[in-house]
Amino acid sequence: MVKRYHLGSEAVRTINNENLLPPGLIQRLHNNYPKYSGFFYEDDAIFKDKEHYSGLKGFREIVQTLKEHGIELTHIKDREFFIEVYRFLATRYVLNTIDWKNYESDSNYQLVFPQPGMIHPDEVKKYADAPNEEARKRVVEDYMHKTNPHDGKQKLNKPWYINDEGHLEILEGSQHKYPPVKLILDKTTQTCFSFCTYCFRHAQVRGDEDMFVQREVVQVHEYLKRHKEVSDILITGGDGGYIPYERLLEYVQPLIDDPELRHIRTVRIGSRAINFHPEWLLTDAFKRILELLQKLTENGIQAVWVAHISTPHDVMNPASVAAVRRLKRYGVAVKSQSPIMNHISLFYDENGKVDIDRSAQNWIDLGNVLAMLGIGFHSMYCARPTGEHHYFTAPLADISKIFNKVYRSLASINRPSRYITMTSSAGKTSLMGTAEINGEKVFALKFNEARNMEWMDTTFFAKYDEQENTIEKLVPYGSDKYFYEDELVKIEEQLSKALEKEMKLAADHDQ
Protein backbone atom coordinates (compact mmCIF):
# COMPACT_ATOMS: atom_id res chain seq x y z
CA MET A 1 0.00 0.00 0.00
CA VAL A 2 2.79 2.48 0.85
CA LYS A 3 4.94 1.53 -2.17
CA ARG A 4 2.94 3.71 -4.55
CA TYR A 5 3.78 6.79 -2.43
CA HIS A 6 7.48 6.22 -2.42
CA LEU A 7 7.72 6.78 1.34
CA GLY A 8 11.15 6.89 2.96
CA SER A 9 12.30 4.07 5.23
CA GLU A 10 11.95 6.28 8.34
CA ALA A 11 8.26 6.90 7.64
CA VAL A 12 7.64 3.20 6.95
CA ARG A 13 9.39 2.24 10.19
CA THR A 14 7.29 4.72 12.19
CA ILE A 15 4.08 3.44 10.61
CA ASN A 16 4.97 -0.15 11.54
CA ASN A 17 6.37 0.53 15.01
CA GLU A 18 3.49 2.74 16.07
CA ASN A 19 0.70 0.72 14.38
CA LEU A 20 -0.46 3.77 12.45
CA LEU A 21 -2.29 1.91 9.68
CA PRO A 22 -4.49 -0.73 11.31
CA PRO A 23 -5.94 -2.89 8.49
CA GLY A 24 -9.49 -2.72 9.91
CA LEU A 25 -9.54 1.09 9.65
CA ILE A 26 -8.06 1.22 6.15
CA GLN A 27 -10.40 -1.47 4.85
CA ARG A 28 -13.45 0.21 6.36
CA LEU A 29 -12.53 3.61 4.92
CA HIS A 30 -11.85 2.07 1.51
CA ASN A 31 -15.01 -0.07 1.47
CA ASN A 32 -17.26 2.80 2.52
CA TYR A 33 -15.73 5.48 0.29
CA PRO A 34 -13.95 3.79 -2.64
CA LYS A 35 -14.26 6.75 -4.99
CA TYR A 36 -11.98 8.89 -2.81
CA SER A 37 -9.59 6.12 -1.83
CA GLY A 38 -5.92 6.25 -2.70
CA PHE A 39 -5.01 3.29 -0.48
CA PHE A 40 -4.82 0.65 -3.16
CA TYR A 41 -3.66 2.37 -6.34
CA GLU A 42 -2.28 -0.33 -8.58
CA ASP A 43 0.08 1.68 -10.75
CA ASP A 44 3.55 2.65 -9.63
CA ALA A 45 4.49 6.18 -8.47
CA ILE A 46 5.28 8.58 -11.32
CA PHE A 47 7.26 10.94 -9.11
CA LYS A 48 10.11 9.19 -7.36
CA ASP A 49 13.18 11.37 -7.18
CA LYS A 50 12.84 14.89 -5.84
CA GLU A 51 11.01 15.68 -2.62
CA HIS A 52 9.37 18.75 -4.14
CA TYR A 53 9.04 20.71 -7.38
CA SER A 54 9.19 24.47 -7.24
CA GLY A 55 8.50 27.45 -9.53
CA LEU A 56 8.48 27.44 -13.32
CA LYS A 57 11.44 25.07 -13.39
CA GLY A 58 9.70 22.53 -11.16
CA PHE A 59 6.46 22.86 -13.11
CA ARG A 60 8.28 22.25 -16.40
CA GLU A 61 9.97 19.18 -14.92
CA ILE A 62 6.56 17.81 -13.94
CA VAL A 63 5.19 18.52 -17.44
CA GLN A 64 8.14 16.62 -18.92
CA THR A 65 7.80 13.67 -16.53
CA LEU A 66 4.09 13.42 -17.27
CA LYS A 67 4.81 13.51 -20.99
CA GLU A 68 7.16 10.57 -20.55
CA HIS A 69 4.20 8.72 -19.01
CA GLY A 70 1.88 9.58 -21.88
CA ILE A 71 0.11 12.50 -20.12
CA GLU A 72 0.09 15.78 -22.02
CA LEU A 73 -0.87 18.89 -20.03
CA THR A 74 -2.46 21.61 -22.16
CA HIS A 75 -2.80 25.42 -21.68
CA ILE A 76 0.81 25.72 -20.66
CA LYS A 77 0.89 29.54 -21.10
CA ASP A 78 -2.15 30.00 -18.83
CA ARG A 79 -0.52 27.87 -16.18
CA GLU A 80 2.91 29.45 -16.48
CA PHE A 81 1.47 32.97 -16.24
CA PHE A 82 -0.32 31.99 -13.04
CA ILE A 83 2.89 30.52 -11.65
CA GLU A 84 4.85 33.69 -12.39
CA VAL A 85 2.21 35.79 -10.62
CA TYR A 86 1.50 33.53 -7.62
CA ARG A 87 4.27 30.87 -7.46
CA PHE A 88 4.11 27.08 -7.63
CA LEU A 89 5.23 24.33 -5.29
CA ALA A 90 4.22 20.68 -5.08
CA THR A 91 5.62 17.88 -2.95
CA ARG A 92 6.36 14.47 -4.42
CA TYR A 93 3.80 13.09 -2.02
CA VAL A 94 0.91 15.23 -3.17
CA LEU A 95 1.80 14.58 -6.82
CA ASN A 96 1.58 10.85 -6.14
CA THR A 97 -1.82 11.19 -4.47
CA ILE A 98 -3.21 12.42 -7.81
CA ASP A 99 -5.06 9.77 -9.78
CA TRP A 100 -3.23 10.47 -13.06
CA LYS A 101 -5.66 8.28 -15.00
CA ASN A 102 -8.43 10.79 -14.16
CA TYR A 103 -6.30 13.74 -13.22
CA GLU A 104 -8.56 16.54 -14.46
CA SER A 105 -11.20 15.75 -11.87
CA ASP A 106 -8.72 14.95 -9.09
CA SER A 107 -9.12 17.42 -6.22
CA ASN A 108 -5.39 17.61 -5.49
CA TYR A 109 -4.63 18.33 -9.14
CA GLN A 110 -7.19 21.14 -9.00
CA LEU A 111 -5.77 22.39 -5.72
CA VAL A 112 -2.10 22.56 -6.68
CA PHE A 113 -2.00 23.01 -10.48
CA PRO A 114 -2.96 26.34 -12.05
CA GLN A 115 -5.89 25.86 -14.41
CA PRO A 116 -7.06 27.62 -17.57
CA GLY A 117 -9.75 30.14 -16.70
CA MET A 118 -8.18 31.16 -13.40
CA ILE A 119 -6.69 34.28 -14.98
CA HIS A 120 -8.78 36.05 -17.63
CA PRO A 121 -7.83 35.04 -21.20
CA ASP A 122 -7.17 38.71 -22.17
CA GLU A 123 -4.46 38.90 -19.52
CA VAL A 124 -3.01 35.54 -20.54
CA LYS A 125 -2.90 36.77 -24.15
CA LYS A 126 -0.79 39.78 -23.13
CA TYR A 127 1.63 37.38 -21.46
CA ALA A 128 1.68 34.91 -24.35
CA ASP A 129 2.19 37.73 -26.89
CA ALA A 130 5.00 39.47 -25.00
CA PRO A 131 7.83 39.78 -27.52
CA ASN A 132 10.68 39.22 -25.09
CA GLU A 133 11.63 38.31 -21.54
CA GLU A 134 11.53 41.92 -20.36
CA ALA A 135 8.05 42.54 -21.74
CA ARG A 136 6.83 39.30 -20.22
CA LYS A 137 8.15 40.33 -16.80
CA ARG A 138 6.32 43.66 -17.15
CA VAL A 139 3.04 41.88 -17.87
CA VAL A 140 3.56 39.72 -14.77
CA GLU A 141 4.38 42.72 -12.56
CA ASP A 142 1.42 44.73 -13.84
CA TYR A 143 -0.91 41.85 -13.10
CA MET A 144 0.60 41.29 -9.65
CA HIS A 145 -0.31 44.88 -8.75
CA LYS A 146 -3.92 44.18 -9.60
CA THR A 147 -4.15 41.34 -7.11
CA ASN A 148 -5.24 42.08 -3.59
CA PRO A 149 -2.97 40.47 -1.01
CA HIS A 150 -4.39 41.74 2.29
CA ASP A 151 -8.15 41.57 2.46
CA GLY A 152 -10.20 42.36 5.55
CA LYS A 153 -7.90 45.29 6.42
CA GLN A 154 -5.55 42.76 8.00
CA LYS A 155 -2.84 45.34 8.47
CA LEU A 156 -5.00 47.02 11.11
CA ASN A 157 -4.67 43.85 13.16
CA LYS A 158 -0.96 44.25 13.89
CA PRO A 159 -0.66 44.40 17.68
CA TRP A 160 1.67 46.72 19.58
CA TYR A 161 2.56 47.67 23.14
CA ILE A 162 4.74 50.11 25.05
CA ASN A 163 7.67 48.29 26.63
CA ASP A 164 9.07 48.84 30.14
CA GLU A 165 11.49 51.48 28.78
CA GLY A 166 8.59 53.40 27.23
CA HIS A 167 9.36 52.36 23.64
CA LEU A 168 6.80 51.33 21.09
CA GLU A 169 7.02 47.66 20.10
CA ILE A 170 5.07 46.62 17.02
CA LEU A 171 4.59 42.91 16.48
CA GLU A 172 5.26 42.86 12.76
CA GLY A 173 4.38 39.20 12.37
CA SER A 174 1.26 38.93 14.50
CA GLN A 175 -2.42 39.65 14.21
CA HIS A 176 -4.82 40.20 17.08
CA LYS A 177 -8.33 40.85 15.90
CA TYR A 178 -10.61 38.75 18.11
CA PRO A 179 -9.94 39.01 21.86
CA PRO A 180 -9.30 35.31 22.62
CA VAL A 181 -6.93 34.50 19.74
CA LYS A 182 -3.56 35.85 18.70
CA LEU A 183 -2.08 34.79 15.36
CA ILE A 184 1.67 34.41 14.91
CA LEU A 185 3.18 34.37 11.43
CA ASP A 186 6.63 33.31 12.53
CA LYS A 187 9.81 33.90 10.54
CA THR A 188 10.26 30.12 10.25
CA THR A 189 6.79 29.47 8.82
CA GLN A 190 6.79 31.78 5.84
CA THR A 191 6.51 29.06 3.26
CA CYS A 192 4.25 26.09 2.64
CA PHE A 193 4.80 22.45 1.76
CA SER A 194 2.85 22.95 -1.47
CA PHE A 195 1.00 26.02 -2.72
CA CYS A 196 -2.78 26.10 -3.07
CA THR A 197 -4.04 27.88 -6.16
CA TYR A 198 -6.72 29.69 -4.13
CA CYS A 199 -4.31 30.90 -1.44
CA PHE A 200 -5.67 33.94 0.43
CA ARG A 201 -2.27 34.61 1.95
CA HIS A 202 -0.33 34.97 -1.25
CA ALA A 203 1.45 38.07 0.10
CA GLN A 204 3.05 35.68 2.58
CA VAL A 205 3.86 32.84 0.24
CA ARG A 206 5.22 34.97 -2.58
CA GLY A 207 7.20 37.21 -0.22
CA ASP A 208 5.63 40.64 -0.87
CA GLU A 209 7.19 43.62 0.90
CA ASP A 210 4.19 44.02 3.20
CA MET A 211 4.17 40.47 4.50
CA PHE A 212 3.77 39.69 8.22
CA VAL A 213 6.95 38.24 9.79
CA GLN A 214 7.36 37.63 13.54
CA ARG A 215 11.07 37.72 14.38
CA GLU A 216 11.09 38.35 18.15
CA VAL A 217 9.55 35.64 20.34
CA VAL A 218 9.98 37.71 23.50
CA GLN A 219 7.72 40.43 22.03
CA VAL A 220 4.93 37.87 21.78
CA HIS A 221 5.25 36.93 25.45
CA GLU A 222 5.43 40.56 26.55
CA TYR A 223 2.29 41.33 24.55
CA LEU A 224 0.46 38.32 25.97
CA LYS A 225 1.34 39.36 29.54
CA ARG A 226 -0.42 42.67 28.83
CA HIS A 227 -3.46 40.96 27.25
CA LYS A 228 -5.09 38.56 29.66
CA GLU A 229 -8.10 38.25 27.34
CA VAL A 230 -6.00 36.06 24.99
CA SER A 231 -6.47 32.36 25.66
CA ASP A 232 -5.23 30.88 22.36
CA ILE A 233 -2.17 31.40 20.23
CA LEU A 234 -2.25 30.21 16.65
CA ILE A 235 1.04 29.56 14.90
CA THR A 236 0.38 29.96 11.22
CA GLY A 237 2.08 31.19 8.04
CA GLY A 238 2.55 30.10 5.24
CA ASP A 239 2.40 26.80 7.05
CA GLY A 240 2.70 26.61 10.84
CA GLY A 241 3.85 22.99 10.45
CA TYR A 242 7.21 24.32 9.30
CA ILE A 243 8.16 25.54 12.77
CA PRO A 244 11.34 23.82 14.00
CA TYR A 245 11.49 22.22 17.43
CA GLU A 246 13.84 24.87 18.91
CA ARG A 247 11.64 27.75 17.77
CA LEU A 248 8.46 26.10 19.06
CA LEU A 249 10.21 25.48 22.38
CA GLU A 250 11.02 29.21 22.62
CA TYR A 251 7.33 30.03 22.20
CA VAL A 252 5.80 27.39 24.43
CA GLN A 253 8.18 26.72 27.33
CA PRO A 254 7.39 30.11 28.95
CA LEU A 255 3.68 29.25 28.72
CA ILE A 256 4.41 26.39 31.11
CA ASP A 257 6.97 28.15 33.33
CA ASP A 258 5.86 31.77 33.61
CA PRO A 259 2.94 32.38 36.01
CA GLU A 260 2.12 35.57 34.09
CA LEU A 261 1.25 33.45 31.05
CA ARG A 262 -1.15 31.07 32.77
CA HIS A 263 -4.08 32.53 30.85
CA ILE A 264 -2.89 30.82 27.64
CA ARG A 265 -4.86 27.61 27.42
CA THR A 266 -4.48 26.52 23.80
CA VAL A 267 -1.65 26.38 21.28
CA ARG A 268 -2.89 25.85 17.75
CA ILE A 269 -0.72 25.04 14.75
CA GLY A 270 -2.34 25.78 11.38
CA SER A 271 -0.87 23.42 8.80
CA ARG A 272 -1.52 21.50 5.62
CA ALA A 273 1.27 19.01 6.29
CA ILE A 274 -1.30 16.21 6.72
CA ASN A 275 -2.26 16.45 3.05
CA PHE A 276 0.85 17.96 1.47
CA HIS A 277 3.79 16.42 3.32
CA PRO A 278 2.61 13.82 5.84
CA GLU A 279 6.02 12.15 5.70
CA TRP A 280 7.39 15.02 7.83
CA LEU A 281 4.98 14.09 10.63
CA LEU A 282 6.32 10.53 10.54
CA THR A 283 10.01 11.38 11.02
CA ASP A 284 12.16 10.95 14.12
CA ALA A 285 12.81 14.71 14.09
CA PHE A 286 9.10 15.39 14.33
CA LYS A 287 8.85 13.11 17.36
CA ARG A 288 10.58 15.83 19.40
CA ILE A 289 7.82 18.25 18.40
CA LEU A 290 5.16 15.69 19.32
CA GLU A 291 6.76 15.18 22.73
CA LEU A 292 6.77 18.93 23.27
CA LEU A 293 3.09 19.18 22.32
CA GLN A 294 2.36 16.28 24.65
CA LYS A 295 4.15 18.15 27.44
CA LEU A 296 1.82 21.09 26.82
CA THR A 297 -1.24 18.90 27.23
CA GLU A 298 0.22 17.45 30.43
CA ASN A 299 0.44 21.01 31.72
CA GLY A 300 -3.17 21.82 30.95
CA ILE A 301 -2.53 23.55 27.63
CA GLN A 302 -4.50 22.13 24.76
CA ALA A 303 -2.45 21.39 21.62
CA VAL A 304 -4.48 21.56 18.41
CA TRP A 305 -3.35 20.76 14.90
CA VAL A 306 -5.61 22.76 12.58
CA ALA A 307 -5.77 21.01 9.20
CA HIS A 308 -7.56 22.13 6.02
CA ILE A 309 -9.29 19.08 4.63
CA SER A 310 -11.96 19.70 1.97
CA THR A 311 -12.63 16.29 0.54
CA PRO A 312 -12.13 12.70 1.72
CA HIS A 313 -9.50 12.30 -1.04
CA ASP A 314 -7.23 14.73 0.92
CA VAL A 315 -6.77 12.20 3.71
CA MET A 316 -7.64 8.81 2.21
CA ASN A 317 -4.05 7.80 1.55
CA PRO A 318 -1.65 5.90 3.81
CA ALA A 319 0.69 8.62 5.06
CA SER A 320 -2.09 11.14 5.76
CA VAL A 321 -3.98 8.62 7.90
CA ALA A 322 -0.74 7.63 9.64
CA ALA A 323 0.10 11.29 10.32
CA VAL A 324 -3.32 11.97 11.86
CA ARG A 325 -3.05 8.89 14.07
CA ARG A 326 0.44 9.82 15.18
CA LEU A 327 -0.63 13.33 16.21
CA LYS A 328 -3.48 11.85 18.21
CA ARG A 329 -1.25 9.28 19.90
CA TYR A 330 0.64 12.17 21.46
CA GLY A 331 -2.52 13.85 22.72
CA VAL A 332 -2.74 16.46 19.98
CA ALA A 333 -6.32 17.30 18.96
CA VAL A 334 -6.74 17.40 15.18
CA LYS A 335 -9.43 19.66 13.70
CA SER A 336 -10.29 20.70 10.18
CA GLN A 337 -11.15 24.17 8.96
CA SER A 338 -12.34 23.24 5.51
CA PRO A 339 -12.46 25.57 2.53
CA ILE A 340 -15.45 25.19 0.22
CA MET A 341 -14.00 25.78 -3.25
CA ASN A 342 -15.32 25.28 -6.75
CA HIS A 343 -13.62 22.43 -8.69
CA ILE A 344 -12.32 20.90 -5.42
CA SER A 345 -15.15 20.59 -2.94
CA LEU A 346 -17.99 22.30 -4.80
CA PHE A 347 -19.15 21.44 -8.30
CA TYR A 348 -21.16 22.87 -11.18
CA ASP A 349 -23.27 20.73 -13.52
CA GLU A 350 -23.06 20.70 -17.33
CA ASN A 351 -25.63 23.55 -17.50
CA GLY A 352 -23.41 25.87 -15.48
CA LYS A 353 -25.51 25.62 -12.31
CA VAL A 354 -24.13 24.66 -8.91
CA ASP A 355 -24.72 20.94 -8.42
CA ILE A 356 -26.16 21.07 -4.90
CA ASP A 357 -26.49 17.30 -4.42
CA ARG A 358 -23.03 16.36 -5.71
CA SER A 359 -21.37 19.16 -3.73
CA ALA A 360 -23.26 18.30 -0.54
CA GLN A 361 -22.35 14.61 -0.91
CA ASN A 362 -18.66 15.49 -0.86
CA TRP A 363 -19.16 17.25 2.47
CA ILE A 364 -21.39 14.57 3.98
CA ASP A 365 -18.78 11.96 3.09
CA LEU A 366 -16.07 14.20 4.47
CA GLY A 367 -17.90 14.66 7.79
CA ASN A 368 -18.12 10.88 8.15
CA VAL A 369 -14.50 10.23 7.15
CA LEU A 370 -13.27 12.88 9.60
CA ALA A 371 -15.32 11.16 12.31
CA MET A 372 -13.78 7.77 11.45
CA LEU A 373 -10.34 9.33 11.86
CA GLY A 374 -11.27 11.20 15.04
CA ILE A 375 -10.75 14.63 13.44
CA GLY A 376 -13.00 17.44 14.68
CA PHE A 377 -14.97 19.11 11.88
CA HIS A 378 -14.46 22.72 12.89
CA SER A 379 -15.83 24.68 9.95
CA MET A 380 -16.60 25.10 6.26
CA TYR A 381 -15.48 28.51 5.07
CA CYS A 382 -15.98 30.37 1.79
CA ALA A 383 -13.28 31.63 -0.56
CA ARG A 384 -12.00 35.04 0.49
CA PRO A 385 -12.15 37.78 -2.10
CA THR A 386 -8.43 37.68 -2.94
CA GLY A 387 -6.45 36.11 -5.76
CA GLU A 388 -8.58 34.55 -8.50
CA HIS A 389 -11.66 34.48 -6.28
CA HIS A 390 -14.11 34.25 -9.22
CA TYR A 391 -12.76 30.79 -10.14
CA PHE A 392 -13.33 29.20 -6.74
CA THR A 393 -16.49 30.81 -5.55
CA ALA A 394 -20.23 30.23 -6.01
CA PRO A 395 -23.38 32.18 -5.13
CA LEU A 396 -24.02 32.26 -1.39
CA ALA A 397 -27.61 31.18 -2.03
CA ASP A 398 -26.30 27.87 -3.44
CA ILE A 399 -23.64 27.44 -0.76
CA SER A 400 -26.35 27.88 1.84
CA LYS A 401 -28.41 25.10 0.24
CA ILE A 402 -25.36 22.80 0.21
CA PHE A 403 -24.66 23.54 3.85
CA ASN A 404 -28.25 22.87 4.92
CA LYS A 405 -28.15 19.48 3.27
CA VAL A 406 -24.82 18.62 4.88
CA TYR A 407 -25.96 19.78 8.30
CA ARG A 408 -29.17 17.76 8.38
CA SER A 409 -27.47 14.66 6.92
CA LEU A 410 -24.68 14.32 9.49
CA ALA A 411 -25.09 13.05 13.04
CA SER A 412 -24.96 16.04 15.37
CA ILE A 413 -21.53 15.22 16.81
CA ASN A 414 -20.02 15.03 13.31
CA ARG A 415 -21.36 18.36 12.02
CA PRO A 416 -19.20 21.43 11.47
CA SER A 417 -19.12 23.42 14.70
CA ARG A 418 -20.35 26.58 13.03
CA TYR A 419 -22.35 27.68 10.03
CA ILE A 420 -20.82 28.63 6.66
CA THR A 421 -18.43 31.45 7.35
CA MET A 422 -16.77 34.30 5.50
CA THR A 423 -14.14 36.69 6.85
CA SER A 424 -14.19 40.48 6.48
CA SER A 425 -12.71 43.41 8.41
CA ALA A 426 -15.70 43.30 10.80
CA GLY A 427 -15.20 39.65 11.72
CA LYS A 428 -16.27 36.19 10.70
CA THR A 429 -19.88 36.21 9.56
CA SER A 430 -21.96 33.07 9.44
CA LEU A 431 -24.72 32.61 6.93
CA MET A 432 -27.43 31.00 9.06
CA GLY A 433 -29.89 30.43 6.23
CA THR A 434 -32.90 32.21 4.78
CA ALA A 435 -36.05 33.63 6.36
CA GLU A 436 -39.09 35.56 5.23
CA ILE A 437 -39.87 39.00 6.64
CA ASN A 438 -43.01 40.84 5.51
CA GLY A 439 -43.27 38.46 2.58
CA GLU A 440 -39.68 39.15 1.45
CA LYS A 441 -36.95 36.52 1.39
CA VAL A 442 -33.81 37.48 3.35
CA PHE A 443 -30.51 35.97 4.47
CA ALA A 444 -30.07 35.62 8.24
CA LEU A 445 -26.52 36.47 9.32
CA LYS A 446 -24.65 36.29 12.62
CA PHE A 447 -21.04 36.92 13.61
CA ASN A 448 -19.14 34.00 15.07
CA GLU A 449 -16.08 36.20 15.70
CA ALA A 450 -16.12 39.99 15.65
CA ARG A 451 -13.98 43.05 16.34
CA ASN A 452 -16.52 43.78 19.10
CA MET A 453 -17.51 40.37 20.46
CA GLU A 454 -20.88 41.76 21.62
CA TRP A 455 -21.90 41.96 17.96
CA MET A 456 -22.06 38.17 18.11
CA ASP A 457 -25.28 38.42 20.11
CA THR A 458 -27.27 39.94 17.25
CA THR A 459 -28.83 38.20 14.27
CA PHE A 460 -29.13 40.57 11.31
CA PHE A 461 -30.56 40.39 7.83
CA ALA A 462 -29.54 41.02 4.26
CA LYS A 463 -31.65 41.02 1.10
CA TYR A 464 -31.77 37.63 -0.56
CA ASP A 465 -29.59 37.52 -3.66
CA GLU A 466 -29.31 34.62 -6.08
CA GLN A 467 -25.93 35.65 -7.48
CA GLU A 468 -23.79 37.43 -4.86
CA ASN A 469 -20.82 35.42 -3.62
CA THR A 470 -19.38 37.68 -0.89
CA ILE A 471 -21.22 38.21 2.41
CA GLU A 472 -19.72 41.70 2.80
CA LYS A 473 -21.34 42.78 -0.48
CA LEU A 474 -24.87 41.66 0.40
CA VAL A 475 -27.32 44.56 0.77
CA PRO A 476 -28.68 45.16 4.29
CA TYR A 477 -32.37 44.46 4.73
CA GLY A 478 -34.64 47.13 6.24
CA SER A 479 -31.89 49.72 6.66
CA ASP A 480 -29.20 51.37 4.57
CA LYS A 481 -26.45 49.83 6.68
CA TYR A 482 -25.80 46.99 9.11
CA PHE A 483 -26.12 47.63 12.84
CA TYR A 484 -22.35 47.43 13.42
CA GLU A 485 -21.06 49.57 10.54
CA ASP A 486 -20.74 52.95 12.33
CA GLU A 487 -18.95 51.31 15.24
CA LEU A 488 -16.67 49.40 12.86
CA VAL A 489 -15.57 52.66 11.21
CA LYS A 490 -14.82 54.10 14.67
CA ILE A 491 -12.87 51.01 15.74
CA GLU A 492 -10.81 51.03 12.54
CA GLU A 493 -10.10 54.76 12.93
CA GLN A 494 -9.13 54.30 16.57
CA LEU A 495 -6.80 51.44 15.69
CA SER A 496 -4.95 53.37 13.04
CA LYS A 497 -4.90 56.65 15.04
CA ALA A 498 -3.59 54.95 18.17
CA LEU A 499 -0.79 53.32 16.21
CA GLU A 500 0.03 56.56 14.34
CA LYS A 501 0.21 58.45 17.65
CA GLU A 502 2.53 55.90 19.23
CA MET A 503 4.73 55.84 16.12
CA LYS A 504 5.03 59.62 16.23
CA LEU A 505 5.88 59.57 19.95
CA ALA A 506 8.48 56.87 19.29
CA ALA A 507 9.99 58.91 16.45
CA ASP A 508 10.13 62.09 18.64
CA HIS A 509 11.66 60.05 21.44
CA ASP A 510 14.38 58.68 19.16
CA GLN A 511 15.40 62.11 17.81
Residues that bind ligand SF4 (CB under 6 A): 192, 195-196, 199, 201, 205, 237-239, 272
Rank residues 169 and 279 by Cβ distance to ligand SF4 and give the closer one.
279
Q: How far is the CB of 505 from ligand SF4 (least distance, A)?
A: 35
Residue among 243, 203, 124 nearest 387 (CA): 203
Q: How far is the CB of 90 from ligand SF4 (least distance, A)?
A: 11
- Say what angle helices 55-68 and 76-86 make with each other, to 10 degrees: 150
Could you write out the three-class secondary structure of 103-126? Answer: HHHCHHHHHHCCCCCCCCHHHHHH
Say which DSSP state 471 is in.
G
Q: How far is the CB of 435 from ligand SF4 (least distance, A)?
A: 33
Q: Is 414 helix (H, G, I), strand (E, B) or coil?
A: helix
* Contact indicator for 350, 412 with CB cutoff of 8 Å: no
Residue among 112, 118, 113, 267 nearest 193 (CA): 112
Q: How far is the CB of 244 from ligand SF4 (least distance, A)?
A: 18
Rank residues 15 and 203 by Cβ distance to ligand SF4 and give the closer one.
203
- Say what angle helices 284-298 and 245-257 make with each other, to 10 degrees: 10
| Residue 134, number of CB atoms within 10 A of its CB | 8
347: left (phi over 0), alpha (psi -120 to 50) or beta: beta
Residue among 212, 393, 252, 254 nearest 332 (CA): 252
Q: How far is the CB of 235 from ligand SF4 (least distance, A)?
A: 13
Q: How far is the CB of 303 from ligand SF4 (least distance, A)?
A: 20
Q: How far is the CB of 291 from ligand SF4 (least distance, A)?
A: 25
Rank residues 236 and 429 by Cβ distance to ligand SF4 and give the closer one.
236
Rank residues 276 and 455 by Cβ distance to ligand SF4 and give the closer one.
276
Rank residues 195 and 212 by Cβ distance to ligand SF4 and give the closer one.
195
* Contact indicator for 234, 188 with CB cutoff of 8 Å: no
Rank residues 126 and 201 by Cβ distance to ligand SF4 and give the closer one.
201
Rank residues 176 and 201 by Cβ distance to ligand SF4 and give the closer one.
201
